[in-house]
Structure 1
Amino acid sequence: MTNRRIESTISYVERMLESTDYRSIVSLEDNWRFHAGDAPGAQAAGYDDSAWRIVQLPHDDSAESNFDAAYPANGYVRSGVLWYRLPFASPGQHAGGKRYLMFDGAAMNAEVWVNGHCLGTHPYAFTPFWHDLTPYLRPAGEENILAVKLDASLQPFGRSYLGNGLFRRVQLIVTAPLHIDVWGVVARTESVDSGASISVATNISVGRYPETKWNAFVWQGNGMKDNNEISKNCRLRTTILDPEGREVAAAEAETIVPQFGKHRFEQRLRVVEPDLWNPDQPNLYRVHSVLFVEDEPADDVLTPLGIRTLSFSADGFELNGIETKIKGVCLHQDAAIFGGAVQTRTWATRLSMLKEAGCNAVRTSHHPFPAEFYHACDFLGMMVMDEAFDEWRLGWDRGYSDSPYGKNTYGYSLYFDQWYETDLRAMIRRDRNHPSVIMWSVGNEIPDLYFDEGIPLLRRMVEICKEEDDTRPVTVCAEGNHLLNLREGIMDLVDVPGYNYVASREGEAYYERLHAERPDLALIGSETEFEPEHWKRIMQHRYVIGQFLWVGIDYLGEGADVLGEDSALGNTFDISALAGGRRGWAFGLIDSVGTTRGEYHYRRSIWSDEPFVRLAVKQPVPASGEALAYMNAQLHWNWNEGERKTVYVFTNCVEAELFLNGRSLGVLAKDTEGYRAIELDVDYVPGTLVAVGLSDGRRVCEDQLVTAGDAVRLELSCDAERLTADGSDFAELRILVVDKDGYLVPDAAHSISVSVQGSGRLLGVYSADATSSESYRSENCRAYRGIAAAVVRAGRDSGAIVIEASAPGLAAASWTLPCVKPG
């Protein structure tokens, strides 16, 4: 992972979301007035909001709050009623055209007004929705007031942290009267034989042309006598641009569109010798659709295109005709200090780290993610299972949405019947052009699957998926820990049955019985633990196309003391404020500050082809947590002298040689059949433990663990080389407690303070300790295992940002970050 790769990802995502030549797309990020709590009458244009706080989007109020045991359903942070208001000028472009307001998501129960007019409501936090502002805006240049009320006051509304706020992008889209519809372009790879055949469907529409005169009421004016019929000639030019922006294919079509008319263009383009998209080489094209009206350019849309083919069967999953195993992780949307307001830089960093471990797929657990995520996956080469819902109508004890509840008392089941089709179609229409998306999931661990009522529901949702996109398979992810049996035949309704924790029900047989029931279908481990035996079975059976580990990165909510650690940490960390002991799930491959765990390196040893070796030290785990043995391994060499330790060697080399203080401990062979790490018992002595990966007797990679001395100083590193002075750019800094030689002190728990001077401000300091009740937005926190993190936000003036980290008894560290004007 490099800073350049991250910056390139950010640049690509922004270009895809907002770069058009004729359509105006503006992100409404700045100058929102915000109030936490109800504010009756705040929808009125003349409401006095002068005392409200100014915030920038994306904004998640829950992430700004202190951890509090009163909110166990939302990761121990508050949620409630929120209000946002924004003054904005009516755009002057495209007179007589359309003005759309697009929300990529809003948590939750959104109510939207402009100039006191109610535009509508949207309950679900995670699907995009849009409103037509055109009839309610004031004349060009005059001020309008947008007001948004969100309500997440009733808990529990979800099983983990969901966030609360305008935590995704909000855009004002201005088009000509005759324009390309929202989500109106669909580009598909039809074949890649003798070049790539690409079909592009484009929907256009017009309400009324500015010249239109229409009156159907005879008592007004001259009635029908003054009406006019207007039609206009339009031409659609569709081009495919290669990664360097060169035109490689083009097509044109014309039609005449009358007032209040619609039209669907169907075009076929051919790309000669295309570069195909895959995780190793994510070659990206772009479809540029330009609409001309009476020979003048009026509207345009940019659409991602990755030329690739998909095939799923009992013979495996083939990407571009090559059998591919899905090496996936489940992810939650939230990211520590940002909560649900996760921006492209964080997505790029996290996805890049997962790719370094050999991961090639992500499941969006358990709802659609923001638009930036999918563009980043396209660019970086990460496949996606795009998931819609975590609940339908029923709860585990067979509650109903109206009497009394589903999986969550105040969750999506309350809105399911009215909204599921709208939300499912919105997800697919927004995401169906992304090459990274390889399958749709209509639900996770759904109780309805165990009852007759689930059959027509699942059938209908599969139909909706196929109506919107018949190029990808549909799955549903069934719970493996439930005592009831799935309704007979219900998994036959999907293309690729998904099974969570299959070993809990099937034991060592894993997928064998399930395959015997459905011998023609591919199966997927849609949510799995980390046991090596599982991956062994996946590799043995072509019909099991891969797995999604739970989980890729730590997240808020669902805190659990799986390994019985909290009592050991209690003398250092304050857990008294947390009723359940932990504010989140702390068993991801990567923790919340970006530190990799032992399981990360194990996965790299079996998922990655680049020569790799990493050392770790085994720690005891209870029998119930055996699958977490590699996860819990420690990556340091600071133990009690004379203690006998089991050393793990994670490597994809056939052999590895270990050295302790220069003395060889022998050449050890990898268990190539069982997919387990090399293990060796070693009598601990301080110093340096080295592992050398061998290929045909040659040294090809190396790792070492060095005994750290006493903590002496802090050390800083930063994920950005510079920031843009736009008020929203940010950098994440990593803070280490190190000894005199720069080695991490693994048990350091110093209280670290951070100050920021110059052209930026501190967002907060935090650690990965899931038992801590320290706020993410504090100026100080206690290091966890020698590590903390800080986030600095850019200001609007160019200049230097000077960051200093300090801790009692340690030498301070500083970092200077340039902040430059955009462009």
Structure 2
Amino acid sequence: MKYIIIILAFFSILATSCTTKVAQNLTADFNFDWQFKLEDSVSNTYDTDWQKINLPHDWSIENSLDSIHGEGATGYLLGGIGHYKKDFTLNLNDDQVAYIVFDGVYNNATISLNNTELGDHPYGYSPFYYDITSSLKKEMNTINVTVDRTRYADSRWYTGSGIYRNVALITKNKLHIPVWGTFITTPNATKESATIQIETSIKNNYEESKNIIVTTEIIDANQTKVGSITSTLDVGKSSTKKNAATLKIDQPMLWDVDQPHLYTAVTKVIENGKIIETEETVFGIRSIKFDAQTGFYLNGKNRKIKGVCLHHDGGLVGAAVPKEVWRRRLEKLKETGCNAIRISHNPASNEFLDLCDEMGFLVQDEFFDEWDNPKDKRKNMNERSVDYITRGNAEHFQEWAERDLKNTILSHRNHPSIFQWSIGNEIEWTYPRNAKATGFFNNMDWSGNYFWSVPPNTIDVIKEKIKTLPKEQYDIGATAQKLAKWTKELDTTRYVIANCILPSSSYESGYADALDIIGFSYRRVIYDYGHENYPNKPIMGTENLGQWHEWKAVLDRPFISGTFLWTGIDYLGESNGGWPKKGTPSGLLDIAGFEKPSYYMFKSLWNDTPSIYIATQTEEKSNYKTIPNANPIEKKKDAWKKALWVWQEVNEHWNYENGQATIVEIYSNCEEVELFLNEDSLGIKKLTEFEDHIYKWAVPFKEGTLKAVGLKNGQKVETFIRTTSKPEALTLVGDKHQLKADGYDTAHIVLQITDKDGNAIKTENQKISFTVSGGAKVLGVDNGAMTSTQDFNGTEITTDKGRALLIIQSIKNSTVPIF
């Protein structure tokens, strides 16, 4: 195999500083100039040397995959104990306070400042903060964070390890708006006018009461002031008081998935004519409504939720995902027509939510995957593990659930993208009484009865079993009611939902009673059952297969609001017993963010714009067989109606043996498609001929060009694939021409092997080595293949489908031209 070296040249013009100084009354980026060392709990080794790193940081993704010690549940990447420290100066005056805010640390973190412990935080996904004022010294300060990830199989998917989200250092006056102290809602929002409610908490750390003025101006995207309001407030000594203000604006620009208009509320706290604090809050004006009979409404418009589930890893970057990596992935999902994201199964980062606000995605923010009882991370539904390395958040739930939930809401609640709070994911099977009541457990077959059968037990039998089966320490209905109550104590403007894998029992256990909407997990076969028997409870699919039959079930039922496909993007983990498979290949995009055939199918289903895509396969390997003088048919009749997570095996090339029998599949929303081989028409077919929504032709292979021409509403669209010759060149395509020298900005560089005519070769692979010099660093490489066991955190990769991805990141204070 040929070894190729690619050199990308960059240059640096300015170095970064080593310590952090924080000015008064501001939020400072606290991500740079940390030090880190790792204590490996598996090999019992300890790195005594501190290495300089920047945050966000995920140390697990930097390791090699370990099939011996690692667990497929978490992607065969190990944990350990990570030690972080950072030196900084912060000289507060007598009128100031300081906070440190962590958006997420995975997990079991202990934080100390100047050898004084600030606290611990077990849950790896909820944001948290500390008032560090009393622990500060006048000169140099040192903050230490210890992360205990020795339970390296504590999840059913890859989590990452370390301070993997942003950290901020905030200084304020003693009289100030506390962290997450502003809440903006829009109870009335139409094109004609909008009511904006602004709730601002004011904290007074002085020993005397304060009389203040609170003003808020509303600024639109053009930096034009469109409204303002002023209030006076008396705040007692050492206390916190809320100020509620309401204003109206005319002809607002509504936040919508198609036009995500944003506003900024600029709030000022004024004492004795002096502005002592200014805080900006980005928000959107929009209305949401779910109706049990007619589905979902955004700004009064009935529309289907075209959603995908996403885990929080970003492929080769692990859990420490740069914003621009998410942007590339979300842009591709947007192109399919996707308009909603379910964060599975944990709260999102604020940076991710910022992108959803800006790009127009509705978001279901999910709190927990475990409640009172644990899940076995190695084997779903075979409860319950007490193995040390698999112990997860369930062991902290009783003590921490309320804090984790409320911190998440307080931190996230101004994001207009969030329209649902999910209190849990597939919780039912961890409560044996509820699982047994359904008649499925332990009689559940993922490829058989669960997906395609109505509940074995009648509603009366389910009721009786829930009533008579032995009660346990915890009750699912009582816990659900508690979580919903905590949610609505802080926010009544969004809907409370959960992803129910056994809705037939959840309707009767009290679980569904706690919900505004019940989400069905792979239960589209009982949509009608739920609607007929519980007609007043809105239903939607919250975890569904990325197949046409799932979307058809939504389209056929006005009362189903929409779906979240499992998944939008392939993810690391949930791959026990599958080595060398390191993750789950159910996505529309692969783990490197490359489009898969299912991506193009849903692009045809979710878009009005004409789209067309060609896939091919030998008839031997195809799902279809040739019928004389007719369209190819399924080898197994109606198999498409029960297709599961992974798309059928097809190719993106036109390279076979001469005369070999092939099946050509076209994924398109065009009313009709004509297929050509070397300009010879192979016939025009109509979409109505294909119940499975896939155009099909039986074509004996002949070298040349396969072209498809589609027609939709009089508009023509076409695509083609060609037989390729031997590899002759490499093509490099970057998504940017220049990087910002901020230490965050990233560029994706895609390498493709091509023939002499520049056609992408998808059938041959070679080993590539990248070298990057100057003002950028390598974040990693990948080829998108789930069975590739090559290191992510390196510079060498063997291509897959002739393709590889390199991600680079700017070095702070450098100018980085690309190409």
Name the TM-score class by shorter chain. Answer: 0.7 to 0.9
Which secondary structure does the structure 1 equivalent of 2:181 belong to?
strand
Q: Which moved more, 1:669-678 or 1:529-538?
A: 669-678
State the alpha-carbon separation in 2 of the partners of residues 22 and 30 from structure 1. Answer: 19
Aligned Cα root-mean-square deviation (Å) = 2.7
Q: Deviations over 1:437-480 (max 9, x none)?
A: 11010111113565461010001111111111111111111125
Q: 1:373 aligns with which of 352, 374, 380?
A: 352
State the alpha-carbon separation in 1 of the partners of residues 119 and 28 from structure 2. Answer: 21
Partner of 1:516: 532
Q: Which amino acid aligns with 1:432?
A: R
Residue 490 in 1 paired to residue 487 in 2?
Answer: no
Partner of 2:708: 691
State the alpha-carbon separation in 1 of the partners of residues 485 and 505 from structure 2. Answer: 26
Partner of 2:17: none
What pairs up with 1:170-209 in 2 under 5 angstroms? 170-193=167-190, 194-208=192-206
Alignment check: 8 A CA contact 1:168 1:370 kept: yes
State the alpha-carbon separation in 2 of the partners of residues 268 and 753 from structure 1. Answer: 59
State the alpha-carbon separation in 2 of the partners of residues 443 and 752 from structure 1. Answer: 43
Q: Quote the offset at 1:632 in angstroms.
A: 3.3
Q: Deviations over 1:710-729 (max 9, x none)?
A: 11111111122211223343
Partner of 2:610: 611
Q: Which moved more, 1:128-137 or 1:652-661?
A: 652-661
Which secondary structure does the structure 2 equivalent of 1:291 belong to?
strand
1:798–1:109 Cα change, 3 Å: closer
Q: Which amino acid aligns with 1:115?
A: N
Alignment check: 8 A CA contact 1:656 1:669 kept: yes
What pairs up with 1:696-735 in 2 under 5 angstroms? 696=713, 698-735=714-751
Residue 65 in 1 paired to residue 46 in 2?
Answer: no
Q: Deviations over 1:304-340 (max 9, x none)?
A: 2211111111121111111111111110110122100
Partner of 1:473: 495
Which secondary structure does the structure 2 equivalent of 1:792 belong to?
strand
Q: Quote the offset at 1:594 in angstroms.
A: 2.0
Alignment check: 8 A CA contact 2:730 2:754 kept: yes
Residue 555 in 1 paired to residue 571 in 2?
Answer: yes
Q: Quote the offset at 1:759 in angstroms.
A: 2.1
Partner of 2:320: 341
State the alpha-carbon separation in 1 of the partners of residues 649 and 125 from structure 2. Answer: 33
Q: 1:267 aligns with which of 239, 245, 249?
A: 245
Residue 169 in 1 paired to residue 166 in 2?
Answer: yes
Partner of 2:255: 277
Q: Which moved more, 1:60-69 or 1:760-769?
A: 760-769
Which secondary structure does the structure 2 equivalent of 1:182 belong to?
coil
Which secondary structure does the structure 2 equivalent of 1:356 belong to?
helix
Unaligned runs of 5+ in 2: 1-21, 435-470, 624-635
Residue 461 in 1 paired to residue 477 in 2?
Answer: no
Which secondary structure does the structure 2 equivalent of 1:632 belong to?
coil
Q: 2:552 aligns with which of 516, 523, 536?
A: 536
Partner of 2:630: none
Q: Which has the higher contact order (CA 8 A, sep 6+)?
A: 2
Alignment check: 8 A CA contact 2:38 2:47 kept: no
Partner of 2:807: 791
Q: 2:27 aligns with which of 25, 44, 48?
A: 25
1:324–1:675 Cα change, 3 Å: farther
State the alpha-carbon separation in 2 of the partners of residues 701 and 201 from structure 1. Answer: 51
State the alpha-carbon separation in 1 of the partners of residues 816 and 550 from structure 2. Answer: 51
1:50–1:490 Cα change, 3 Å: closer
Q: Quote the offset at 1:292 in angstroms.
A: 1.2
State the alpha-carbon separation in 1 of the partners of residues 375 and 116 from structure 2. Answer: 40
Partner of 1:134: 133
State the alpha-carbon separation in 2 of the partners of residues 350 and 206 from structure 1. Answer: 43
Q: 1:144 aligns with which of 141, 146, 154?
A: 141
1:726–1:320 Cα change, 3 Å: closer
Residue 644 in 1 paired to residue 661 in 2?
Answer: yes
Which secondary structure does the structure 1 equivalent of 2:410 belong to?
helix
Partner of 2:15: none
Residue 588 in 1 paired to residue 587 in 2?
Answer: yes
1:407–1:204 Cα change, 3 Å: farther
State the alpha-carbon separation in 1 of the partners of residues 268 and 228 from structure 2. Answer: 11
Alignment check: 8 A CA contact 2:111 2:143 kept: yes
State the alpha-carbon separation in 1 of the partners of residues 613 and 556 from structure 2. Answer: 26
Alignment check: 8 A CA contact 1:614 1:703 kept: yes
State the alpha-carbon separation in 1 of the partners of residues 368 and 389 from structure 2. Answer: 13
Q: 1:306 aligns with which of 267, 276, 284?
A: 284
Alignment check: 8 A CA contact 1:396 1:407 kept: no
Q: Quote the offset at 1:512 in angstroms.
A: 0.8
Unaligned runs of 5+ in 1: 1-19, 40-47, 213-229, 561-577, 802-815, 818-823
What pairs up with 1:108-119 in 2 under 5 angstroms? 108-119=107-118
Alignment check: 8 A CA contact 1:241 1:247 kept: yes
Which secondary structure does the structure 2 equivalent of 1:715 belong to?
strand
Which secondary structure does the structure 1 equivalent of 2:369 belong to?
coil
Which secondary structure does the structure 2 equivalent of 1:511 belong to?
helix
1:749–1:627 Cα change, 3 Å: same
Q: Which moved more, 1:259-268 or 1:372-381?
A: 259-268
Q: Which amino acid aligns with 1:59?
A: H
Alignment check: 8 A CA contact 2:74 2:573 kept: yes
Q: Quote the offset at 1:116 in angstroms.
A: 0.4
Q: Deviations over 1:82-115 (max 9, x none)?
A: 00000000144x6422100000000100100000
Q: 2:230 aligns with which of 233, 249, 252?
A: 252
Alignment check: 8 A CA contact 1:326 1:547 kept: yes
Q: Which amino acid aligns with 2:688?
A: D
State the alpha-carbon separation in 2 of the partners of residues 644 and 395 from structure 1. Answer: 51
Q: Which amino acid aligns with 2:270?
A: F
Q: Deviations over 1:115-149 (max 9, x none)?
A: 0000000001101000010001012xx11000000
Partner of 2:651: 634
Q: 2:426 aligns with which of 433, 438, 445?
A: 445
Q: Quote the offset at 1:531 in angstroms.
A: 2.9
Q: Deviations over 1:349-403 (max 9, x none)?
A: 1111000001011100100111101010010001111101111122469999x99
Give the % identical residues: 32
Partner of 2:76: 76
Alignment check: 8 A CA contact 2:158 2:313 kept: yes
1:147–1:71 Cα change, 3 Å: same
1:798–1:396 Cα change, 3 Å: closer
Alignment check: 8 A CA contact 1:600 1:631 kept: no
State the alpha-carbon separation in 1 of the partners of residues 506 and 99 from structure 2. Answer: 47
Q: Quote the offset at 1:779 in angstroms.
A: 1.7
Alignment check: 8 A CA contact 1:25 1:174 kept: yes
Residue 88 in 1 paired to residue 104 in 2?
Answer: no
1:660–1:477 Cα change, 3 Å: same
State the alpha-carbon separation in 2 of the partners of residues 616 and 49 from structure 1. Answer: 50
State the alpha-carbon separation in 1 of the partners of residues 744 and 366 from structure 2. Answer: 29
Which secondary structure does the structure 2 equivalent of 1:513 belong to?
helix
Q: Deviations over 1:218-259 (max 9, x none)?
A: xxxxxxxxxxxx332211111111111211010000122232
Q: Quote the offset at 1:629 in angstroms.
A: 7.0
Residue 682 in 1 paired to residue 699 in 2?
Answer: yes
Q: Deviations over 1:182-222 (max 9, x none)?
A: 111111111125410111111111122xxx5xxxxxxxxxx
Alignment check: 8 A CA contact 2:662 2:700 kept: yes
Q: Quote the offset at 1:646 in angstroms.
A: 1.9
Alignment check: 8 A CA contact 1:653 1:693 kept: yes
Q: Deviations over 1:668-712 (max 9, x none)?
A: 11139956122222222121111112135x452111111121111
Which secondary structure does the structure 2 equivalent of 1:456 belong to?
helix
Alignment check: 8 A CA contact 2:753 2:802 kept: yes
Alignment check: 8 A CA contact 1:606 1:675 kept: no
Alignment check: 8 A CA contact 2:506 2:512 kept: no
Number of residues of Structure 1 aligned to a counterpart in Structure 2: 728
Q: Deviations over 1:622-664 (max 9, x none)?
A: 9798345755332221222212222222222211221111011
Alignment check: 8 A CA contact 1:597 1:632 kept: no
